[in-house]
Structure formats: structure tokens, C-alpha cells
Amino acid sequence: MSLMKSASALLASAVITIGALVSSGAMAADLPVKAKPVVVGASAPLDVHGWFDATFASNRVTGGGLLLYPSGSTLTQVNVGLSLDLYKNPTGFINSISIYGGVWNEWWLDASLPGSRSWQEMDFYAGFTIGFAQYWKFTGEYVQFNFPNSIPTAYNAVFTLAYSDAHWGWPIPLNPYVSLFYNIDGGSTVVFGKTNGGYRVTVGIVPTVDLFKGSFVPVTVAFPTSVTFGPEEFWNRNDGTTNVCGPSGAAACSLSNLAFYTTGIEAKFSLENFIPKRLGNWYVKGAARYYKIDNDALLAAQVVTGAASSFTNAKDDVFLGSGSIGMTF
């Protein structure tokens, strides 16, 4: 069929179709509901997310239980990052896959120890999260601890399995999780522990409740609670170089699988009624945390970090406070 014949046939079909619509009274002006114009991307959910958080804290206990600074310290911690949603399927077994990465920095604003610097640490992290079976999430992360002085860079991996039990209908969901931290290389992250290849486990819950929904100042309150334990050598390699306990600071430190347990309260206030959402989801947050450090090697390590002047005055009961401002999108 020639091009001219094809065009004629199409034109004839269009005329017949229009005539049929007119004769049946089904013109667009007479339809009960008009089709809305499609604006591509107008309401599509973002597959790119990000965060910024600036925290001011009175001290820090690391994930391994190491108290870092003397009493009366002031810290600033800044965390920024991005994540990308690669896959979404709310009805399948695998519900979502995302990748993320970011950088975290800490400054000691009133650095007082000889040779100390204001900037204390920079951590790079990158990982992935898989949501599955509607309520489960598995996260794998690589994190690198970098320091400005002679402390070697530590290379680590973290794996976390979390469960959301909000669908159970309890007044306060518990949100349990278990996390495995593995030190790949770069020396012990708790001073006197195994220099590489060590691991620790954290088991915890994050009971969470939303208050004042729909009010002028909505707030989310959480009660993070956990215990951290693992092989004895993660905290005490016990190779003859860790005899730093006791009243004289020269006795062998006792071996223990338990590092510490902690609990606290965090209140996060949404600023959605003050800052338009087109500028991000802004918030302010306040937190108070208690740590019970139950490991002699961790107490002795406080002498090295400067948090204590001797083993006998190391702090096994630690109370911390912090305040934050940040945003997500």
C-alpha cells in the first residue's frame, strides 16, 4: 500500500469514528467525568533520599563500649548521606532494595588533653538494605574509621537484621534487632582487644510511640535498649600486653563476654508546621542515655582515651545527653 493510500485510509477511519460519537451524543463535553491531564513525575515518589544531622553531645560511648572523653566535654557530630531505591515491590517476598553511603565527623570542642585536636574522627560508610517479608530488613554496611593522629584506620563490616512489629497492634511497638560488627583490619576498636578479625554482637529493641499526631508539634518518642557481647578476645586479647587493671594498673584484666548494656529515651520533634516540606522534613531531637560498662578491659581503656586518670576511677556508670537538628528528604 502506498503512503497516499495509507493516509487516506486513516483519515476516513477518523471521520467515521467522529461521526459515530456525534450521533451517539458521546462527545467529551457530555461525559460525566473528564480525564485529568497527565503530568509526568508530578506525584511520583522519590527514589533518591538524603539526610543531614548535626548533634551536640556531652560525651560518646562507642558501639564497642569505649568511653572516649573526660567528664564535662562538648562534642559536635555531623552526619550526611544519600540513598537510592533500586527496587520496590510491596506484594512480593523481596519488597525493596536500596543502597546508601555517607560520612560522619566528630569534633571535640574543648579538647584539653596534651597533643589532642579538635577534629577527632571521620567515618566513611556505604551499604545496602533489603526489605523482605513485609516487616523485615537486612542491612550490610562497610564502615571505615579514620583518625587525624597516629591511630591506624580501622576497616569494619556491620550486618543488621531488624523486624517491625507495629502490625501486631501493641500500644508501643518494640522493633527488635540483632547486629553483628566485624573488625576486618586496622587494629582493635576498643584499645586492648584483638587487633583484627574480632567481632561483637548487639541485641536490642527500640520501643517507639508517636505522640500528638496532627497537632502543632508532633513528636516521636523512642526508648533504645540493648546489650552488647561477644568473644572475650574482642575486648581483651590477653597476650601479656593487657595487664593494665587493678589498683596499681598492672594486674591482668578479667576476661568477660559481656561489654555493656544501655537504655535511654529520645524525643524527636517534627518541624513540619514551621518549615515547608518542599525544603525537606526538618526535626529537632533530644536524648538521654545510660550505659553500664561491665568489662574490665573497657574500663582500663578509659585511661588510654583520657576519660579516666586511672583504672580505679574509671566510669562504669555513664550518663550522656545530646541535642540534634537535622532533615531528611
Instruction: Write the pLDDT tens digit of every residue in 97-116.
Output: 999 999 999 999 988 776 67
**What is the overall mean pLDDT for the chain?**
88
Q: Check pLDDT > 90 for residue 81.
A: yes
Neighbours of 93 (CB within 10 A): 8
Q: Check pLDDT > 90 for residue 256.
A: yes
Residue in this structure with the C-alpha cell 574482642, named with its chain if needed = 234
Q: Check pLDDT > 60 for residue 16.
A: no
Q: Are 162 and 176 in contact (CB under 8 A)?
A: yes
Q: Are 154 and 187 in contact (CB under 8 A)?
A: yes
Taking the C-alpha atoms of residue 320 and residue 203, their distance in angstroms, rounded to an integer, is 21
The reported pLDDT for the residue numbered 179 is 98
Give Cα separations from 126 to 50, 88, 98, 144, 198 (angstroms). Answer: 13, 20, 11, 9, 20
First to last CA, the chain: 56
The structure's pTM equals 0.84
Which alpha helices (H) appear in the chain, and where do they start and end? 3-24, 296-305
The reported pLDDT for the residue numbered 113 is 72
Phi-psi region at 179: left, alpha or beta (left = phi > 0; alpha = psi -120 to 50): beta
Q: Check pLDDT > 50 for residue 117.
A: yes
* Mean pLDDT value of segment 232-242: 95
Q: Are 131 and 162 in contact (CB under 8 A)?
A: no
The DSSP string of 33-61 is: SPPPPP-TTSSPPPSEEEEEEEEEES--B
Give Cα separations from 296 to 192, 303, 305 (angstroms). Answer: 10, 12, 15
Measured in degrees and rounded to the nearest 5, phi and psi for residue 30 equal -100, -5
Q: Are 117 and 151 in contact (CB under 8 A)?
A: no
* Mean pLDDT value of segment 288-295: 98
CATH number of 48-328: 2.40.230.20
* Mean pLDDT value of segment 16-30: 37
Q: Check pLDDT > 80 for residue 19.
A: no
User: Does residue 300 sit in helix, strand or coil?
Assistant: helix
* Mean pLDDT value of segment 122-138: 98
Give Cα separations from 131 to 94, 169, 252 (angstroms). Answer: 6, 21, 45
The reported pLDDT for the residue numbered 7 is 39
The reported pLDDT for the residue numbered 216 is 85
Q: Are 228 and 267 in contact (CB under 8 A)?
A: no
% the chain with pLDDT above 70: 86
Q: Check pLDDT > 70 for residue 62.
A: yes
* Mean pLDDT value of segment 249-257: 96
Lowest model confidence (mean pLDDT) among 26-30, 272-276, 300-304: 26-30
Lowest model confidence (mean pLDDT) among 66-70, 208-212, 232-236, 259-263: 208-212
